[in-house]
A and B are shown apart, each in its own frame.
Chain A
Amino acid sequence: MTARGPQGNGRAGTTGARPGALGFLTDTTLCIGCKACEVACKQWNQLPMDDFGFTGYSYDNTGDLGATTWRHVAFIERVSDREGRRPTRLKAFQSNWLMMSDVCKHCVYAGCLEACPTGAIIRTEFDTVVIQQDICNGCGYCIPACPFGVPALSLTDGKAHKCTLCYDRLKDGLEPACAKACPTDSIQFGPVEQLMERAKRRVADLHAQGVTEAYIYGDREVGGTGGIEGLNAFFILTAPPEVYNLPAQPELPQRKVLPAFLSTAAAALGLGLAALLSLRRR
């Protein structure tokens, strides 16, 4: 496990977020796994229940973000390391919990938005990313275009859904339902610039307290890499991103469009020439 603190390539804490962009800071060191965010999100956005099943994955019976799940609390109980040793100074009955409330990252440059062929996915006046439900025709291209696995197609209405950062509440000057409901302020809402300053101070505090693993996920160094230029909904984590099912160095998928088209055009030239030479009269 490598610490991903402020050292690194000097891009820690930097983000390409536009001035005035609104977003989330989800500080996982404060999360107690109460799932109030999941419930508040479902209540406010009138989302139906998910598969009513038992996963066997710690306290997580939600599993994943989906068409009707826009906040998802992950539970990781780290009881032993690879050699079977206990990786913590906590007492034996304590589970060494990691809990993290996952959400749409509202990327500064968003793969889903770039991929959308109908213009249904837009960047709002709050610099959040929203799927307009009256436009989406359920082509499903945004779903594999998200490097974080956020949007999903609904089986009931055939359209793509994801977190809107409570666009309707923002319009009325209210904070999003999940942030409002969070009892420990693990989920904080506000202008990204301010949240990022707060996150940097918090990480420095955590380091001073001996939690040297703490780092920001969602700046240009980790999580917001490869042309994404930062996440407007970012996190403070204390374990490698993969533990939370997050990619460490994701890339904006549309970076591949131009080079892929160029290689295809080169192949078209080559094959066209081969066809010409094979078919011509001699």
Chain B
Amino acid sequence: MSMGYERRWETRRQPGGSAADEARDSYYGLPAIHKPHWKWSIVLYFFLGGISGASYVVASLARLFGGPEMRPVARAGRYLSFLTVIPTPLLLIYDLGRPERFHHMLRVLKLRSPMSLGVWGLIAFSLFSGLSALIQAAQDGLLGRRGPARLLRAMPDRIIGLLGSGPAFFLSGYTGVLLAATAVPLWTKNFLLLGPLFLSSALSNAVAALFVLLTATRQAGSHALERLERLDRLALLAELALLLGLRANSGPVIGRPLDEGRLGQAFRGVLGAGVVGPLLLQALARRRHSGMAQALRLLAGLLVLAGGFLLRFVLVFAGHRSADDPQATFELARKR
């Protein structure tokens, strides 16, 4: 066993300030709470889980209400949902301090622990996502013609899709509740906004991914792509409103990590290049024809995806920064 040093705090001492100054308003500027250890694997999990859940919802709705021209969207949505859900348990297990004990999560179900709920929700959703992808594969003739393929083709795929949309929405949105139910100032201050923000961003990411995939493979007609773009616009507008709400609701102290330094740049990057930029590009594309418009829409889709990943990165790491700031913790814990 290696001797690892456990002590990891850092100070927020202002240049030129004395220790006596710091000891009046906080304990030498040291963090008052501990931040989580979550790193890139959790950011990636939030991103892929969001896309997986939302693309399942889009596929189910497209299949239920979209008519024949939306069939390619439903097909791509089912495959995309399954492909993006496969790595998610691996990312979660990789993040554990003791990965070989991952199955200890299955000992209990705790309704007040979003992580416990998330584990069970992920399992429930994976079953739906896998089944719908199998049915789609059988319908596409990828599984042959006999035996199980015939059974799968006979299954009520629309009803399964409708039932699976519940866990799908849960997977896309519960991550916001997971962050909210902590003592981390930036997260818990925005407890009502994080879930909706994760949901709308997941939807815009899934739609953008489907748009890019279907355009690149020339699988869908222009009607289907137009409808996807309309949905993308609505999701992006919701995301924009929620992002601005998040910044305003955080206030000057707790919201500081969203303004300052690299994280502040990244947050503005999410707003500008990940949300407003794609909206403008899509508006521009509607005024042009053919090739140019197609390129603009593709670029918009890719920007939305990059913005979705960056948003989760910023939310996680800005949370870490706010947990390290004792003034943020104390502001949250003032007399209400």
Contact in complex: B112, A247 (CB < 8 Å): no
Contact A275 B61 (CB under 8 A): yes
A56: interface (CB < 8 Å): yes
| Nearest CB of A to B91, in Å | 13
Chain A nearest Cβ from B26, distance in angstroms: 6
Enumerate chain B residues within 8 angstroms of A275, measured Cβ to Cβ: 57-58, 61, 203, 231
Q: Does A114 sit within 8 A of B, measured CB to CB? A: yes
Decide: A137 near B102, CB < 8 A? Known: A144-B36, A152-B6: yes
Are A76 and B181 in contact, with the CB atoms below 8 A? no
Chain B, range 31-48, C-beta contacts under 8 Å to A? 31-38
Q: How far is the CB of A165 from chain B (nearest CB, A)?
A: 19
Q: Is there contact, CB below 8 Å, between A81 and B24? A: yes
Q: Given A253-B181, A272-B61, A272-B165, A48–B20 Cβ distance below 8 Å? A: no
| Chain B, Cβ-Cβ closest to A255 | B181
A74 surroundings in chain B (CB, below 8 A): 27
B97, B119, B323: the one contacting A158 at CB < 8 Å is B97
- Flag if A158 contacts B66 (CB, 8 Å): no
Task: State whether the Cβ of B14 lies closer than 8 Å to any Cβ in chain A.
Answer: no
Q: Do the beta carbons of B326 and A245 come within 8 Å of each other?
A: yes
- For this complex, into which size category does the number of interface residues on chain A fall? 35 or more
Q: Report the Cα distance A57→B330, complex, angstroms.
A: 20
Q: In the assembled complex, which residues on chain A have CB atoms less than 8 Å from the CB atom of B199?
A: 264, 267-268, 271
Chain A residues, Cβ within 8 Å of B69: 281
Nearest CB in chain B: distance from A76 CB, A: 5
Interface centre among B33, B200, B203, B332 (most CB of A within 10 A): B33
Per-residue CB contact flags for chain A residues 216-256 toward chain B (1 = under 8 Å, else 0) read 00000000001000000000000000111111111101101
**A50 lies within 8 A of B65 (CB):** no
B258 at the A interface (CB under 8 A): no
Q: How far is the CA of A119 from the CA of B169 in the complex (A)?
A: 26
A2–B174 Cα distance when bound, in Å, is: 40
A114-B112, A118-B108, A246-B32 as given contacts; A137 in contact with B96, CB under 8 Å: yes
Contact residues in B for A157 (Cβ distance below 8 Å): 1, 97-98
B107 with A156: CB separation less than 8 A:
no
Which residues of chain A are near B323, meaning CB under 8 Å? 144
Which one, B147-155, B183-191, B272-280, B296-304, is touching chain A? B183-191
- Closest chain A residue, CB of each to CB of B38: A140
A93 lies within 8 A of chain B by Cβ: no
Which of B57, B165, B198 has most A Cβ within 10 Å?
A: B57
Contact of A260 among B3, B61, B73, B176 (CB under 8 A): B176
Q: By the criterion of a CB under 8 Å from any partner CB, how many residues of chain B are at the interface?
A: 94
Contact residue among B6, B31, B176, B180 (Cβ-Cβ distance under 8 Å from A69): B6
CB distance from B55 to the nearest CB of A (A): 11
Asked whether A247 lies within 8 Å of B332 as measured between CB atoms, the reply is yes
Residue from B98, B192, B195 within 8 A of A138 (CB atoms): B98
CB distance from B333 to the nearest CB of A (A): 3
A153 neighbours in B (Cβ, 8 Å): 37, 97
Closest CB in chain B relative to A141 CB, distance in Å: 5
Hey, which chain A residues are within 8 Å of B61, CB to CB? 272, 275-276, 279-280
Q: Map CB proximity to A onto B53-88 as digits: 1 under 8 Å, 0 otherwise.
A: 000011001100111011001000000000000000
Chain B residues near A247 (CB-CB < 8 A): 32-33, 329-330, 332-333
Determine the distance from Cα of A81 to Cα of B18 in the docked complex, in whole angstroms. 12
Q: Which of A135-192 contact B (CB under 8 A)?
A: 135-141, 143-160
Cα separation A144 to B322 with both chains bound (whole Å): 11
Contact B333 A249 (CB under 8 A): yes
Chain B, residue nearest A154 (CB): B6
Enumerate chain B residues within 8 angstroms of A13, measured Cβ to Cβ. Answer: none
Q: Are B34 and A260 in contact (CB under 8 A)?
A: no
Judge whether A199 is part of the interface by a CB distance below 8 angstroms.
Answer: no
Residues of A within 8 A of B96 (CB): 137-139, 158
How many angstroms from the CA of A157 to the CA of B37 in the assembled complex?
A: 14
Contact indicator A279/B65 (Cβ below 8 Å): yes
B219 within 8 A of A: no
Contact mask for chain A residues 50-81; partner B; CB cutoff 8 A; 1 contact, 0 none: 11010111100001101111000010111111
Instruction: Tell me the residues in window 101-128 of chain B with beta carbons closer than 8 Å to chain A beta carbons.
Output: 101-102, 104-105, 107-108, 110, 112-116, 118-119
State the CA gap A138–B96 with chains docked (Å): 5
13 contacts between A and B (CB under 8 A): A56-B19, A63-B7, A64-B30, A66-B6, A114-B110, A114-B113, A119-B104, A143-B36, A146-B34, A249-B335, A264-B198, A267-B199, A279-B73
Taking Cβ atoms with an 8 Å cutoff, the residues of B that contact A are: 1-7, 9, 19-20, 23-28, 30-38, 57-58, 61-62, 65-67, 69-70, 73, 95-99, 101-102, 104-105, 107-108, 110, 112-116, 118-119, 165, 169, 173-174, 176-178, 180-184, 188, 191-196, 198-200, 203, 227-228, 230-231, 234-235, 238, 319, 323, 326, 329-330, 332-336
Pairs A-B, 5 closest by C-beta atoms? A138-B97, A158-B97, A264-B195, A247-B333, A281-B67
Which residues from chain A sit less than 8 Å from chain B, CB to CB? Answer: 48, 50-51, 53, 55-58, 63-64, 66-69, 74, 76-82, 111, 114-120, 135-141, 143-160, 226, 242-251, 253-254, 256-257, 259-261, 263-264, 266-268, 270-272, 274-276, 278-281
